[in-house]
Amino acid sequence: MIRNPMKVAFGTMTVTKKSKDMVRRILDSGRVSCGYYVREFEKRFARLIATRQAVAVSSGTDADALALAIFYDFGAKRNDEVIVPALSFVATGNAVLQAGFKPVFVDIDPKTLNIDTDLIERAVTKKTRAIMPVHLMGKPAAMDEINHIARKHQLFVVEDAAEAHGAMYKGRHVGTLGDLGAFSLYVAHIITSIEGGMVVTERKDFAEILRSLRSHGRACKCEQCVVNIASASCPKRFQYGAGEDMRFLFERIGFSAKMNEIEAAVGLGNLGIYKKILERRRRNLLYLMKRFKKNEEFFYSIEEESYEKIGPHAFPVVVRRGAPFRRQDLVCFLTQNNIDSRSLFSSMPTQCSGFSFLGHRYGDFPAAEYIGENGLHIGVHQDLGVKHLDYILATFTKFIKKFTK
């Protein structure tokens, strides 16, 4: 084992003094459920990415699922279909099923790691209701082509932007390019509330349904609940008649997916330092992308096009065909040298056994399966500096020399 004091963790999180002060005030108030601070977080998140509506939920997976569940109000039926890329974190496929739909998987473009738009139309049927592209590793999916297909077939588009904070596509924030965008606020992401998610949209009616869905499908769907923020009397409470408390009228099948005030406080603090975190992560990602090209005989990564900015979630690495080593050899070497890494996800339908009931066989999604067996990603978070990045690059050089002497 190579001994070196340098350690490169995969992720980090920053809890600001502002957040800690807010948490103390919230705990002292005794009002910790979804209320004032959640709404403030929603408003500021919406302003940040230039959209009209943002609804906070309990996880990125719930953000996907609730965004899809809106469509029951617009004619969708249980077991209708949602087209998704075969390669993603398993939450993408899970969310489709949790929303009551069937995921229809499409292979990916191995260069971008995103859904192959040339294959989407083959997957469209009479039961298709939506396309849910994933901006994997913060690399924007080909939204012009996806939206064109969606318009042609009268489909909704839900962007899974879980990892794509800060990503831009032709001058617009990802998450604002379809009908809805779903973000994860998990601890390792650029904006975090520890756990949590956010759904964004331009449509007020979608936002109202989301507020109902996150609270069991209640009739209550005001932008800010008077009862939740001040224990005040709600003038709408009995609008359906005496004794008909609208808080116990349920208009649709819903979820229990509210964000709490403490999570919102952490998120608000993160928004205050968002630009600084984004700049540091972008610097780290671009530094690795540029200097890693010397290893392109054996590896490749994503590239940034002129019309986009990649959201700097992590640095993906894929072992090329014919390389004299396996991914597991590389992972072990990185681990021995104190560099943490993660697999670059899997082909959900053929490499995640939970989806076996859908009947897909290995080989149905060759590009996704290849990435699932040969891809990994490394952190580029804000606590890393140039010395860490140079150490990562030097460790890859040492690894390659082991196999090319």
User: Of 86, 103, 139, which is closest to residue 369 (Cα–Cα)?
Assistant: 86
Q: Confirm if 52 and 181 have CB atoms less than 8 A apart.
A: no
- Distance between CA atoms of residues 284 and 289, nearest Å: 9
Rama region for 376: left / alpha / beta (φ>0; ψ in -120 to 50; rest): beta
DSSP state at residue 126: T
DSSP string spanning 243-259? Answer: T--GGG-B-S---B-PP
User: Of 49, 40, 32, which is closest to residue 224 (Cα–Cα)?
Assistant: 40
Q: How far is CA 219 from CA 38, 211, 223, in A?
A: 19, 9, 13
Active site residue 165: no
Q: Confirm if 384 and 8 have CB atoms less than 8 A apart.
A: yes
- 165, 189, 377, 388: the catalytic one is 189
Give the count of beta carbons closer than 10 Å to the beta carbon of residue 124: 17
Q: Which two three-digit tokens encode residue 234? A: 């709600």
Catalytic residue positions?
A: 189
